[in-house]
Structure 1
């Protein structure tokens, strides 16, 4: 079968969303962040109130200190000093309370946004087509779902809470300083650009470095997820590559370390610049204010208040310069999250899709539905040059979809309701692709696939998947209990239903001997079970779902002859009355099929029953002689001799 290379379609961005070159943030990113924060209106309102209170108290504190000196200490009024100092302490308590409320509100909003984004990204990824997952490294997706989403929280809390607080504080502090002395205030303001310019320059550099660091984190996550699963670990051990793998990881980790050091250094530069400029500006204010105080044009309390206001002024200014850099880097996280959310699945449910069960009820249909392929042609989509190419393995990137060969070409056939149809043919003929088109893992490039007379693209995906049950050659089990893996097909199934499904799949005798029975954890991808046991668990899961349409893609490939013969007996009952499509590789399934379709190079070359095709002496007869002639004596004993 052709490799499952799929596209990553992306919604076209509007002109104001297109980011400038060099990995910078698009203009539309900030606009898209706001609705996430506004989904918590009460927390936002409380945050706004606490921010206003904090800003007012910040500006009022130094003014009270001025009164302490000018109206209390210098005139020698002890009672005035005591009451004003109590007022300063009260303001400090109010400021502390406001800061606590700010932290609580910003944390609630930030974590809420993380929760919303994680759920939205996870659900959006689940809606992607199979092609997306065949081209995307799991670790890279996990990195976007964890690291990038958490980084997006910093953008929310920083932009909304700190920015609002800084703007209000700056406005009130400057107003208070102008009220006390416009000359000293103007001198102090002349130094502010020296704070902001380095922040802007360093912020752009940090933005590029941060994006590179996130991409490297994704590569490390992908490497770990591939090497830490059982299959990857076994491969490394069998080929003696453990040391090479460690060296590869060390090189990637070293690059991440270097990037992290660069981030720390650039961030520290901002702090150093702020500290130096604050000291210089303080000296300037003390010098100018001291001269004015000596001349008698400025009161001592006013000078002390101005210095206190200046300390509080350059705190927000320093925060603003740092915020500019940190926000620019945090916005990278949001931008990367939006890249995921902008992906358009190439297999999507139409807005007017209808439920299959409802359509069948309207028609009064009963029993299993038939399905058909009408002039279906299919080629696996090319990778294309999408903006998320870094998520996929470089070898999967393709620039010209037209270069993909046709996997299926003008394929037409019908699988009658309630009958068993077998697909046979050489490797790469397109058999598995056919089984993937019916449940809409892919859509045909041309032609129509119909279920119960309806174009499957007109049906809801949920009703389509409810109607179809699939067991593949490599059955997947989650790292969970046997019970959880079985209940995946029917949540809330009773104990008796689980046992009956296991008995029908001939796996119950094995399950009940396990120490924890159905509550036994199967391990990563079911590696605690043998291949045959995994297949029988997958068959039990199918039987528990009891769908009207069944697809078996070499589902008995991992079974020995005795187990397969027993499973075939169970499937005779399980498939009775159901519409079944089976990719066959052994004599037993083929002999019992109502019709056999022989597929070669994406086309149906022959069709008929086992006896008819053998008598025809065509491709099927050749395949039979080369693949099935050496029948198993045990299989013959169970199923009966092959007719001559």
Structure 2
């Protein structure tokens, strides 16, 4: 029992150390991780970190292998002493007491004893292996035993269709009670309309849209999708009808076709082409030697940021969601890439229920309503012209973005403001 407890403890430590090593490898050997290590010249530091973790792992494995060896020594010694005692007792009986026992009889008894010892030893070894295996699987069991935070309602509703309308009714949300993210958020997005959400970084914009497909659940208040509380909707139905284009585009290591078909595996060639045309990426794809079968590399390494983002848009369009959400889809791109994505987005938001989240105000002019979020609260709402004149947070964002442009060209600043021309648009 002592040996088993020791092995259990060491095996768990060994698994934790193995996870640490895998984490180091995943961080430093990935494409982004390698680049960061090289740019900051931290090769020696990362090597030393890995060496220390690996040395700890080796020591734990040695200790684990040595744990309980004394038990195995006693077991093997007992197994060896048994035949010796039989030979000794048989010899004494034969020589001193003239017993009828023969050497063959003693040999048979020793053979039978060996046959008895073998399964006993095997069973004891099974116990050692079982304890080690259970210690290794404990971490997996702990993960599987964790309750799912987001679950389908027992009587989840699966509507035949949905119009994509969204309503937030006094919604509040926090990760920790002492740090509230959203406070009493209420708005309504009608079917076919477009709402833009703007505000400083960390104001809760992305959190708001994450509540719609139930990546998280609101702490209080109600969110409806298509007129039905999202908590009562079937999760698969809900997420199947919400399409999100995020700022950080993720592409799998495969072809463009593979990444597009991830949205809908039964899509035809013509449907793929149409989605790419709507996303303003088809010209680029058709210029490639292998077209849709062009490899994108790990996380889309072989493509530019704008190309990855437009493929991401095509992938969401192929899903054909009732609600289309663009979460900072152009914030990390240059003006040319941003313009191409804008050309792809504008026709889409005119024909679909959509939500735009953006830092750059030039991307939200086509919205039917603009919500200004600050500190987790909707502080302003209305059209662009109305908000610019209001003198609030939106005006501050507006002035911050365009102060340089007006200073650089004061003679045309009034014309720019009046006609909603933004820095970079004229190029």
Give yes or no for TM over 0.5.
Answer: yes
Query: Is the contact made by 1:229 and 1:524 (CA closer than 8 Å) also made in structure 2?
Result: no
The DSSP-based 3-state class of the residue aligned with 2:244 is strand
Cα distance in 1, alignment partners of residues 357 and 333 from structure 2: 15
Q: Deviations over 1:476-534 (max 9, x none)?
A: 11122111111111112122221222222222222233333222221221122111111
- Residue in structure 2 matched with residue 305 of structure 1 by the alignment: 108
- Residue in structure 2 matched with residue 426 of structure 1 by the alignment: 200
For the pair 1:402 / 2:205, whether they are aligned, the reply is no
Q: Deviations over 1:296-353 (max 9, x none)?
A: 2545544222111111112222223322222111111232221111011211112211
Cα distance in 2, alignment partners of residues 643 and 474 from structure 1: 27
Deviation at 1:558, TM superposition (A): 3.1
- Residue in structure 2 matched with residue 263 of structure 1 by the alignment: 64
For the pair 1:370 / 2:165, whether they are aligned, the reply is yes
- Residue in structure 2 matched with residue 206 of structure 1 by the alignment: 7
Identify which of 233, 241, 262 aligns with 2:42. Answer: 241
Deviation at 1:455, TM superposition (A): 0.7
For the pair 1:497 / 2:271, whether they are aligned, the reply is yes
- Residue in structure 1 matched with residue 425 of structure 2 by the alignment: none
Distance 1:631 1:285, change over 3 A: farther
Cα distance in 2, alignment partners of residues 535 and 292 from structure 1: 92
Identify which of 332, 354, 357 aligns with 2:135. Answer: 332
Q: Deviations over 1:444-470 (max 9, x none)?
A: 111111111111011111100111000
Deviation at 1:219, TM superposition (A): 0.9
559-568 or 255-264, which moves further after superposition? 559-568
Cα distance in 2, alignment partners of residues 234 and 301 from structure 1: 76
For the pair 1:322 / 2:125, whether they are aligned, the reply is yes
Deviation at 1:277, TM superposition (A): 2.2
Identify which of 532, 539, 549 aligns with 2:323. Answer: 549
Identify which of 407, 419, 426 aligns with 1:641. Answer: 419
The DSSP-based 3-state class of the residue aligned with 1:406 is strand
Deviation at 1:548, TM superposition (A): 1.2
- TM-score (normalizing by structure 2): 0.90
Query: Is the contact made by 1:270 and 1:322 (CA closer than 8 Å) also made in structure 2?
Result: no
Cα distance in 2, alignment partners of residues 638 and 314 from structure 1: 94
The DSSP-based 3-state class of the residue aligned with 2:350 is coil
Query: Is the contact made by 1:370 and 1:579 (CA closer than 8 Å) also made in structure 2?
Result: yes
Cα distance in 2, alignment partners of residues 580 and 236 from structure 1: 40
Matches within 5 A, 1:206-605: 206-266=7-67, 268-293=69-94, 295-296=98-99, 298=101, 300-355=103-158, 357-358=159-160, 360=161, 368-380=163-175, 401-403=176-178, 405-605=179-379
Cα distance in 1, alignment partners of residues 28 and 421 from structure 2: 50
Query: Is the contact made by 1:370 and 1:416 (CA closer than 8 Å) also made in structure 2?
Result: yes
Q: Which has the higher helix share?
A: 1
- Residue in structure 2 matched with residue 75 of structure 1 by the alignment: none
The DSSP-based 3-state class of the residue aligned with 1:458 is coil
Deviation at 1:289, TM superposition (A): 2.9
Deviation at 1:269, TM superposition (A): 4.5
Distance 1:310 1:596, change over 3 A: same
- TM-score (normalizing by structure 1): 0.61
Distance 1:463 1:535, change over 3 A: same
Query: Is the contact made by 1:372 and 1:413 (CA closer than 8 Å) also made in structure 2?
Result: yes
Cα distance in 2, alignment partners of residues 463 and 449 from structure 1: 16
Query: Is the contact made by 1:588 and 1:639 (CA closer than 8 Å) also made in structure 2?
Result: no
The DSSP-based 3-state class of the residue aligned with 2:67 is helix
Distance 1:583 1:477, change over 3 A: same
Query: Is the contact made by 1:550 and 1:581 (CA closer than 8 Å) also made in structure 2?
Result: yes
Deviation at 1:631, TM superposition (A): 6.1
CA RMSD of aligned residues (A): 2.5
Aligned residues: 414
